[in-house]
Structure 1
Amino acid sequence: MNWGHSWVVLGVIVELPFRPGHYYCLPVLFRLYLNKAKANQHRRVYRTRPELAVQMLDTLCSHRKNRRFHAVADSAYGGQSVLNNLPPNCDLTSRLLMDARLYEAPPVRRPGTNGRPRKRGNLLPTPAAMLEGRCRRLSFKIYGRTDTARVAHVEARVHSVPDRPLRVVAVEPLTGGRKPQAFYSTRDEATAEQVIAWYAQRWSIEVAFHDSKQQLGFEEPQGWSRRSVERTAPVAMLLYSLVVLWFARAGHRQYQPLTCPWYTSKADASFADMLGTLRRQTVRQKVLSLALNGPGSRKVKQLLEHTLAIAV
């Protein structure tokens, strides 16, 4: 039998000078999700994953109240439990169901009108219906390639949060083989291209998960106490953030790509390359600090560095 942990992670998406046009997600905050049975067992208040995400957004946004934040999340964190509880200084871009009910803004209430004021305006076409009408044809660069799609967008409100205007974008890819999708952003003044580009940046958190699991053992630690569990796994992802920041600040100057005749298309350093560069520089400092003198000492140092480069 295997036991797994479910983590909700908040990261900061950055574009670093050593690789323009590419985005990295640097994990900074973590919450361990417990189902209702486990929460009751440990005498803790049960919170859903979206509620844990809102907690972390509150922590981050309250730390810099004069700064505007913009969260990007998949559909699991794009529902009303998040949209209704966003910090005042935080926007959100996420996915939307293709059959989502959309509404215009409620009409201005005329003086002397009886009855309760309307919360919603007229019903608008769903994202799927939007694609059946007149659409623009756009080409944009996302996920490292150029895609072409039919795009329709509108300012609308959703049924569960009628008082918040959203920019809703429906996309039908013409290349790449993906299905039609819909996105929204609380930045209702944004263009369709901006909303699509913002959501595409979300993929960087998946890359961070993958690299942390493959290179730093994020999914491997075993712990028997609560503190052990809550500390070990987040440390792996914090190390991911530290390694990327080190490489951006200094490591990219020492990076030496390995010569691989069978892999000539690689142009940029992967996280494995960043980690290997850090290891080589660390060992190199240790080797240079050795009191090796006399004939052949230089070759010994070069041999140690070369052996390490092959090993990592």
Structure 2
Amino acid sequence: MNIGYAWGLNWVVLVVIIEMPFAHGRLIALPIYARLNPKSATPVKKKGKGSKRKKTSVAIMVDMLRTVAGWLPTSLFIFCGDGAYAGIAHLLPSNVKMVSRIRCDAALYAPPKKHRKKGKGRPSKKGKRLLSPEKKARRTAGWKLYNVVLYGERVRRLVQQYQVLVYY
């Protein structure tokens, strides 16, 4: 019996979503940047100086977002990604905002305070600890009602919006 292996190609694709005026509210995703992230037959175990570690799909997406944000530095971009991208918000340029799913037990922190030039020690990486998403969702304050389109149907949803640093 012969055994054969076929390693597929993994593409990391960044798209721009636009509304087509002639298509009555239909959206279309236009790919503007794609990079190949091939699967490796064996995982890279080399560490230390001079080793070349394979970039993850998340790291490749961060590079792509930085590049595209650099093309139009005065424009605002909104990146929508799944839970795998939830931890990259602090790596993105200031003109890129992110929408992502986070876990209910995620440790949320306020952004750090500005570091004084003459102070001792390294600057803070995170601010004060905030409530977990689960506890924050149980509070009645801070919710806003929005009209959104879900699966082609217009519905009303309560939404909370705030800027945090996420740690798992």
Distance verdict in 2 for CA 1:58–1:116, change over 3 Å: closer
The offset of 1:120, in angstroms, is 3.4
| 8 Å contact from structure 2 (residues 9, 36) kept in 1 | yes
The offset of 1:134, in angstroms, is 1.0
The offset of 1:106, in angstroms, is 4.3
Distance verdict in 2 for CA 1:36–1:113, change over 3 Å: same
Q: Which amino acid aligns with 1:53?
A: M
| 1:24-173 map, 5 Å | 24-37=28-41, 46-80=54-88, 83-106=89-112, 118-134=124-140, 136=143, 138=145, 139-159=147-167
| 1:152-231 map, 5 Å | 152-159=160-167
What SS does structure 1 have at the residue aligned with 2:33? strand
What SS does structure 2 have at the residue aligned with 1:125? coil
Contiguous gaps of at least 5 residues in structure 1: 161-312
What SS does structure 2 have at the residue aligned with 1:96? coil
Distance verdict in 2 for CA 1:11–1:120, change over 3 Å: closer
The offset of 1:86, in angstroms, is 2.1
Number of corresponding residues: 154
Aligned-CA RMSD value: 3.5
The offset of 1:23, in angstroms, is 1.6
Contiguous gaps of at least 5 residues in structure 2: 45-51
Distance verdict in 2 for CA 1:108–1:71, change over 3 Å: closer
Are 1:8 and 2:12 matched, yes or no?
Answer: yes
More strand by share: 2
> In the alignment, which of 14, 17, 21 is matched to residue 17 of structure 1?
21
Question: Take 2:140 and 2:24, find their aligned partners in 1: how far apart are those partners?
Answer: 35
TM-score by length of 2: 0.68
Question: Take 1:59 and 1:154, find their aligned partners in 2: how far apart are those partners?
Answer: 26
| 8 Å contact from structure 1 (residues 39, 45) kept in 2 | no
More helix by share: 1
The offset of 1:27, in angstroms, is 1.4
| 8 Å contact from structure 2 (residues 87, 167) kept in 1 | no
Distance verdict in 2 for CA 1:128–1:27, change over 3 Å: same
| 8 Å contact from structure 1 (residues 35, 46) kept in 2 | no
Question: Take 1:59 and 1:116, find their aligned partners in 2: how far apart are those partners?
Answer: 29
| Percent identical residues | 32
The offset of 1:15, in angstroms, is 0.9
What SS does structure 1 have at the residue aligned with 2:23? coil
User: For 1:47-96, what per-residue CA distance to the aligned partner results, in whole angstroms no more than 9, with x for missing partners?
Assistant: 1001221232233333334443332222222323xx34324543322222
Q: Which amino acid aligns with 2:81?
A: A
